[in-house]
Structure 1
Amino acid sequence: MTEPHHDVRGSGPVLLIIPGGAGHPMGLDPLTDALADRFTVVTYDPLGLAHGRLGEPVEDQRVEEWSDGAHRVLEAVLPEGGSAYVLGTSSGAIVALDLLARRPERLRHVIAHEPPCVGVLPDGPRHRDMFRAVYDTYRAAGPRAAATRLNAALTGQEPSPDPVGGHPLSRDEELRNPMALFLAHVLRQFTSYPADLAALADSRSRLTLAAGSDSRGHLLFRTAEFIADRTGSRFVAFPGGHVGVAKHPAAFAERLVRTLAALDDRSAPLPGWPL
């Protein structure tokens, strides 16, 4: 079995970053630049999309497979007996939660930023149906129409009943488009993931849920708060919205550094906690 694709830069404690979407780490360079002087930043690329595999066949994905790959990355980069910080965002945050629930032994602390595992919510079935509708829109009208519908659902807007314009992608077009791969092979599978809240509660001292301050009132802010409450974990607001990691990399990195430093110094208040 080949080792999962990943990149390493910087020095200091190991920080594993698990990207969202289809796992392509595009747009994360400014964040890793801001963190590399404090951490050994390990960026996980579960499908190898940034390592020459974009355009190759992709099947429906499973959270557990990405999580097992992340564990193998940590085994490869950590010294014997070492542990790592983990930042997962969006679909990558679901992977981070699964990693903590099933394989916590090499984890120092996990920050899960806006994980879309909406099945934990009391009205979870309705939201899972919404994500399936986004997938159906993608198949009928392509990624732009599906992304518009997805954004409306996440922000609490009424989606347009009939997508305007757009067309389905060919198989070759889909394989060259990371957003299309996410919509086709990650979205339904990951948002249906049944998070193990009992196992996460057992590791609550090593778990922080996070959401963007601009996401307040949105579905994934609510989801992160709900998981934090049910597991007894910390909750911290980060700059920006759902993609704050890419849109506000410097401020996001600063909040991450401060949050982890406060966790190591139990006498220091966590930034943004309470809200």
Structure 2
Amino acid sequence: MKALGLGWGWARQGEDAAALLAARRRKKGFSQAALAEKAGCSRPTIIALERDFSGSVSILLSVLAALGVRQVLRALDMPGRAGLVPVTNAPVRDLVMTPAPLAAAVIAHFAEQISGSILDPARGQGAFFDQFPSLLQRRWCEVSEGKDFHAWSEPVDWIVTNPPWSRLRDFTLHAMNLAPNIIWLAPIVNLTTKARLRDLDEYGFGIAELLLIETPKCWPQSGFQLAAAHLKKGHQGAWQVSRLGLVVK
């Protein structure tokens, strides 16, 4: 974590993040058993997290969501040293295309919920768009083909794609004006910054689910957890965290 210039969002540099997690639980009035039930894990798992931070990323995210922790990671103040993760994403990284099997698996995971009209705002080579069920009203944008998403004004029921990460905020703000359901494929760290979560609150959205995904082997390996995030209008509950059982080479 420190080598990447990152720290836990709820703990200042040098503080014991595990102990602070326990303190936050007590402040919320949860017993370890009650928190375990709310987060969908066992009491021994909570004990391990509070003792030495043992546990999986998915369980940690569930616990943090149950405790109302919004900022999972933050940049450390490291004078004189450039972090390994840039402050903003380089636009050149936006050209990484989604493997078709991954797009198909993401669509299949959410298929029972998806209905009505659906828009791929950054179609690229069609990885997501081509997987949209034919019974839906399918729409697409692709700036390289003269159809800029930011010029799109027709409301739809769903917006689903791997958005350009350097423009994630712009895409999200516009998408929230168009659809009550958004699924973005992006690193969790990009999706859960303080500013992104504040935007969701202001527009009446919440994170309904984080589908954890192994980064495709053909993509640059950053070390950050990739997820398909379901942003849902009106959602105020805990984040559901699940894992996609697929490794794309």
Highest RCO, 1 vs 2 (Cα 8 Å, sep ≥ 6) = 1
TM-score w.r.t. length of structure 1: 0.26
State the TM-score, normalizing by the size of structure 2. 0.28
Structure exhibiting the larger radius of gyration computed from Cα positions: 2
Bigger share in helix: 1
